[in-house]
Amino acid sequence: MKPKLIQITDAERVETAKAVIIDQRKKNQTRASYELYGILYSNNRLVVERVNYAPVAADFAAVVTKANIAGYLKVYDMVAEFRGAWKSDDEAKVIAYELQPNA
């Protein structure tokens, strides 16, 4: 049985992902309204990479398909959508995903 894509609902984990994404955006001075990040936290290290982005919601919809996110999860432990559009980074919406391990 292959792992299933699941949305992370634990508020603390989502807020932590949001914090590291905001930090990464500041470091790299990226300002796209819609961004997709891969987060790797295995092996005692944290890697946060912007893997895709779009200027408008309609373009971003094609980026955040289940198939695309599942593909990124072959490389990363977590994939997170950052939807900042018209808000400040602190008010942005983050939706995070991971693969459910085999039971």
In tens, the pLDDT along 30-46 reads 889 999 999 998 778 89
Asked if pLDDT for residue 85 goes beyond 70, the answer is no
Is 95 within 8 Å of 13 (Cβ atoms)? no
- DSSP β-ladder status, 78-83 and 47-54: unpaired
Is 55 within 8 Å of 32 (Cβ atoms)? yes
Q: What is the pLDDT of residues 55-74, one digit of tens each?
A: 999 999 999 999 999 999 99
Nearby residues of 9 by Cβ (< 8 Å), 6 or more positions away: none
Mean residue pLDDT of the chain comes to 91
d(C-alpha 77, C-alpha 65), whole Å? 17
pLDDT for 1 equals: 59
What is this structure's pTM?
0.90
pLDDT for 77 equals: 94
